[in-house]
A = this chain, B = another copy of it.
Amino acid sequence: MRTRAVIPFKPDNPKTRLAPVMDPAERSTFARAMLDDVVEAVRRAGTDPLILATRPIDHPDAAVEVRDGGLNEVLNDLFGKSSGPVLVIMADLPLATGESVERICAATGDVVLVPGRGGGTNAILVRDPPRFRADFYGASFLDHLRIAEERGLEGTVVDSFLLSTDIDEPGDLVEVLIHGRGRSRSVLESSGFALSVAKGRVGIQRHPHEEAL
């Protein structure tokens, strides 16, 4: 049975912590570009993308279902009704590649976790979803490992920098400009974002008047 790759997505007022460097329309465009990069990565890995969106959106390369409710509530409802493997992967991972997602699918374990920085879970593959329970937010990586253990499920971990890199704050954009190969990077570059190196530290700068170049 093919793996479904479930991508939760909130189209309205996304990525508020990027507000210091992007206006609302730019944040929406960038969030959509990151979603597109994730959809592309999971398709390359041979999984079937399903976007769980908080309101209707169109996507040419993924199924879309509208779900209202908290992330854990929505996912656990879906887990309860799923008979095949489900990969949950966050929509703000623009460095995701087919190869990195393939590593998740190829890993052993009943529950395969990909940590994000700061204790989060950026992706999780659940091979028998009704037996598991999602508990995102907070130190979810440790929570998910514990939930797996409590339920007699083997939890394993995939070690990926690309998938650990969720984009929340302006400083995170550096990673997209350095390592990105997809639409998210193109959107940043066409908006005038570029790397800056000062005193040995790498940051971002923006040239708004060069957008037309």
Binding site for B on A (CB under 8 A): 99-100, 115, 117-120, 137-139, 141-142, 159-165, 171, 174-175, 178-179, 195, 197, 200-202
Contact B178 A139 (CB under 8 A): yes
When the two chains form their complex, are residues A118 and B202 in contact, meaning their CB atoms are under 8 A apart?
Answer: yes
Query: Do A202 and B162 touch across chains, with their CB atoms under 8 A apart?
Result: no
Tell whether A174 pairs with B119 under 8 Å between CB atoms, given A160-B161, A161-B159, A164-B164: yes
How many copies are assembled?
2
A118, closest chain B residue (CB) = B202
A-B contact pairs, 30 of them (CB 8 A): A99-B159, A100-B159, A115-B161, A117-B165, A117-B175, A118-B174, A118-B175, A118-B202, A119-B178, A119-B195, A119-B197, A120-B202, A137-B200, A138-B197, A138-B201, A138-B202, A139-B178, A139-B195, A139-B197, A139-B202, A141-B178, A142-B178, A159-B160, A159-B162, A160-B160, A160-B161, A161-B161, A161-B163, A161-B164, A164-B164
Q: How far is the CB of A159 from chain B (nearest CB, A)?
A: 5
B200 and A115 within 8 A (CB): no
